Amino acid sequence: MSKKNKIETVCVQGGYRPGNGEPRQVPIIQSTTFKYNTSEDMGKLFDLEASGYFYTRLQNPTNDYVAAKICELEGGSAAMLTSSGQAANFFAVFNVANCGDHVVASSTIYGGTYNLFAVTMKKMGIDFTFVDPDCAPEELDKAFKPNTKAVFGETIANPALTVLDIEKFASAAHKHGVPLIIDNTFATPVNCRPIEWGADIVTHSTTKYMDGHGSAVGGAIVDSGKFNWLEHADKFPGLCTPDDSYHGITYAEKFGLEGAFITKATAQLMRDFGSIQAPQNAYLLNNGLESLHVRMQRHCENALAVAEYLENSDKIDWVVYPGLKSDKYYETAQKYMPNGTCGVVSFGVKGGRKAAEKFMSGLRIAAIETHVADARTCCLHPASSTHRQMNDDELRAAGVSPDLVRLSCGLESKYDLIDDIAQALEQI
Ligand SMILES: *Cc1c(COP(=O)(O)O)cnc(C)c1O
């Protein structure tokens, strides 16, 4: 498909291009394995001498069609699907940072990612420094160490809704010769394309807006193909020296800047950790992607209407939504996401934690769920659920106060959503 196609067209038709007489829908290749005539044919695949499929743990055509669409949406050079957003972020970081290395991350990231970094990857010998995303460039600079291998942040943080100054983070990362990895789950490429602002790697929990219907857990990694690994070869031996576990291949030389990162993540990490997305789930994800551009617009419209209503309600202490003019991140959001941000609004109900819980149980349209970015409106109290492993200081650093309610506005009528909120607030 021509590079000139608009994002709406890529959402609908990107990735899979059927030939004459081939299925119009993305075919689900429900097969673990693929047949070859000679051992030599198969050997070439194992040596990465020829491209093709041999075992679905590494690659599957359905997944590749859908990964190619996400790659086009983000403007990247290569992409892969993973079984979840957690797997995507783990692979993206572990592909460049190993035992003895260090990573700089924004402190307001998603609770699950924070836990992955601060607890589980720390056990693997990888050290993380968490920085205030709003810190001055000089302060950000100080977080780097000689063994720093990557910088990580979220376009719009879940659930803190801080908007990352991507250019500030990109220039700090590049000054220190390391890539910037951006989790773009909340904005989606419809509203923001981090690669255009200097990000090197983009990750997604496709479970959220990309799927958008609460159907399938999944993740994706997109490489910009722009980071020059060979210029910083001493920092990235995994990409720039021969891989003994893969026939002595040097990824950055054999696959170039465009292919090295995703080929290594597939050949090493997917091979060894096996976090593949089921082809059936990739098919469901693709159905979601076909309407992503239409849905994002409505999610944002509903969220803005709800945020404006909450802002004017005397039963609400505070509202955070980067699309609100009064929001701390309004200007930053306008710069990076002029067409809209996301459908998630955070707020504090007067009366604190207890009032928040009472409010939530009074809602009739919005359901209490550990989920966001769904067609159906849902809400959550992070301090008692997703973030319950954090103490109060860690909660504050993550931008989550004990009274915070996260409301994910779905695709229903904004008038019904506001009526529902109004009647639930009356019940407190
Ligand atoms: C949900 C989420 C994740 C984790 O994704 P899963 O698909 O649930 O594993 C990572 N990052 C962000 C921003 C998320 O919202």
Cβ of residue 154 lying under 6 Å from some atom of ligand 1: yes
Query: What one-letter code names the amino acid at 79?
Result: A
Which atom of ligand 1 has the smallest separation from the CA of 157?
Answer: 13
End-to-end CA distance of the chain: 54
DSSP H or E run through 379: strand 378-380
User: Residue whose CA is closest, atom 6 of ligand 1?
Assistant: 85
Element (H, E) at 415: helix 414-426
- For atom 2 of ligand 1, the residue with the nearest CA is 205
**What pLDDT does residue 45 have?**
86
Identify the pLDDT of residue 1.
46
pLDDT by position in tens, the chain (length 428): 455 799 999 999 999 999 999 999 999 999 999 999 999 998 888 887 888 898 999 999 999 999 999 999 999 999 999 999 999 999 999 999 999 999 999 999 998 999 999 999 999 999 999 999 999 999 999 999 999 999 999 999 998 899 999 999 999 999 999 999 999 999 999 999 999 999 999 999 999 999 999 999 999 999 999 999 999 999 999 999 999 988 899 999 999 999 999 999 999 999 999 999 999 999 999 999 999 999 999 999 999 999 999 999 999 999 999 999 999 999 999 999 999 999 999 999 998 888 888 999 999 999 999 899 999 999 998 777 777 777 778 777 777 787 889 999 999 999 999 999 999 999 98
CA of 138 to the centre of ligand 1 (A): 30
Question: So what's the pLDDT on residue 219?
Answer: 98
The reply to whether ligand 1 has any atom less than 6 angstroms from the CB of 111 is no
Is the distance from the beta carbon of residue 382 to the nearest atom of ligand 1 less than 6 Å? Answer: no
Query: Ligand 1: does its nearest atom lie under 6 Å from the Cβ of 207?
Result: yes
> What's the confidence (pLDDT) of residue 357?
85
* 321 CB within 6 A, ligand 1: no
How far does the centroid of ligand 1 lie from the alpha carbon of residue 104, in Å?
A: 19
3-state SS assignment for residue 353: helix
By most ligand atoms within 8 Å of CB, the mutation choice from 183, 205, 344, 371 for ligand 1 is: 205
Question: From ligand 1's centre to the CA of 207, what distance in Å?
Answer: 7
Residue 119: C-alpha distances to residues 30, 213, 275, 310, 354 (Å): 36, 31, 20, 36, 30
Ligand 1 contacts CB of residue 82 (under 6 A): no
Please give the number of the atom of ligand 1 that sits closest to the Cα of 87: 9
Ligand 1 binding pocket includes 112 (Cβ within 6 Å) = yes
Q: Are 89 and 116 in contact (CB under 8 A)?
A: yes
Report d(CA 159, CA 236) in Å as an integer. Answer: 32
